[in-house]
Amino acid sequence: MSHIGVIVNPAAGRDIRRLTGGASVVDNYAKRRVTECVLSGVTVPSATPDVTLMPDTSGIAANVVEDAPDDVSVELLDMTLTGEAADTRRAAERFQTEADALVVLGGDGTTRDAALGCDDLPLLSVSTGTNNVVPSAVDGTVAGAAVALVASGTVDNEETTYRHEMVEARTESGESVTGIAAVELSDRSFIGTRALLDPDEMLGGIVSRANPSEIGLSSVAGALDSLAPDEPGAIALRLADAGMSNQTVRAIVAPGVTTRVGVEEHHRLSDQESMVVEVDDGVLGADGERELEVVNETVEFHSVPDGPRLISHEAVFESAAHTGVLTDG
């Protein structure tokens, strides 16, 4: 019997950007409903996988298990919660050894935390966060069905999944910040509310993917170059004041926020290359959230190959239709 893990982040999609920008609110009831739809979707294969949910401090998973349909075997993962991002990583590590595929409800931050724990486990991230560059804006039923088809071996893993590159910034003193879509450097002197709110604070950084339709630094890079998430390498950027820069781009820098951004320098980095920046006083962030204060540091930005194995739900259903596994008789 195949087995699916589910991680729901109750804190995703509820930060200060809901007040200062145009991002929509994804409350816990909405996340519960999406998770319930995931359970409906897992019944699509001929043999329904077992499902284990990571518990959470808001009781979303517990309520889903209590009200689960009779034809789906559902339980909570036995683990102690801390209420921190480490919970997601520890749950993903467990699922790496106990599950055949993983569904994550959250934004880029939640997806990154899961990716750092699940290694080669196929993962489908459903958008319920603030920064949603990597997660798919897909119905929970569709997500559940796609993950179940992968977990059960009904469709070919290699044809329906891909490796998403990651990026990292490492200081000379040995501290590091890892992002799934972007690692940003801002000139703030403290972490504060964590969320990157003011585009004028951004000094640059590195992205694993670039498209002008995305959000944050990936949107800025995408106005100048294109980089697919499964393409090797990264794009590094040094930003400048838009009013004093020779080159500016119009970008979506946060949910509900568009602006002109000055670009001093941008270039492709291979897996073996890096960008080095001398920082007097600033903060390193990952995927739109400030993570690490840096003072009088040398910071090296580089790509991280062989990131998480993400499920393409479009490829899953295309394969399933082509092979006839959804047809009876």
pLDDT of residue 198: 67
pLDDT of res. 288 = 85
Give the per-residue pLDDT at 223.
96
**Along the 329 residues of the chain, how does pLDDT read in single tens digits?**
899 999 998 876 445 444 445 556 678 999 999 999 999 999 999 899 999 999 999 999 999 999 999 999 999 999 999 988 899 999 999 999 999 999 999 999 999 999 999 989 999 999 987 668 999 999 999 999 999 999 999 999 999 999 999 999 999 999 999 999 999 999 876 665 556 556 778 899 999 999 999 999 999 999 999 999 999 999 999 999 998 899 999 999 888 889 999 999 999 999 999 999 999 999 999 998 889 999 999 999 999 998 999 999 999 999 999 999 899 86
**φ, ψ for residue 60, nearest 5 deg:** -60, -50
Q: What are the structure tokens assigned to 328, written together? A: 């009876």
Topology given in CATH for the domain delimited by 3-163+307-323: Rossmann fold (3.40.50)
Which residues are within 8 A (CB) of 202 and not within 5 positions of it... i.e. 6 or more apart?
184, 185, 186, 196, 217, 239, 253, 261
Both tokens of 278, joined, read 């001398």
The whole-number pLDDT of residue 306 equals 85
Given this model, what pLDDT does residue 190 score?
65
So what's the pLDDT on residue 22? 52
- Asked whether 4 and 51 are in contact (CB, 8 A), the reply is yes
Instruction: State the pTM of this model.
Output: 0.90
- Read off the pLDDT of residues 278-326 as tens digits, 9 standing for 90 and up: 999 999 999 988 899 999 999 999 999 989 999 999 999 999 999 998 9
- DSSP SS3 for 319: helix
DSSP state of 127: E
Would you state the pLDDT for residue 196?
Answer: 59
pLDDT at 18: 46
* CA distances from residue 185 to 182, 221, 261, 277 in whole angstroms, order as listed: 10, 14, 14, 10
Q: What is the pLDDT of residue 201?
A: 84
Exposure string over 137-153, b if 16+ CB within 10 A, otherwise e: ebebbbbbbbbbbbbbe
**Domain ranges (residues) in the chain:** 3-163+307-323, 166-304
Q: Which CATH class is domain 166-304?
A: mainly beta
Instruction: Dump the DSSP string for 11-64.
Output: TTT-STHHHHS-PPP--HHHHHHHHHHHHHHTTSSSSPPEEEE---TTSHHHHH
Dihedral over Cα of 193, 196, 200, 205: its sign: positive
50-53 and 74-76 beta bridge pairing:
parallel
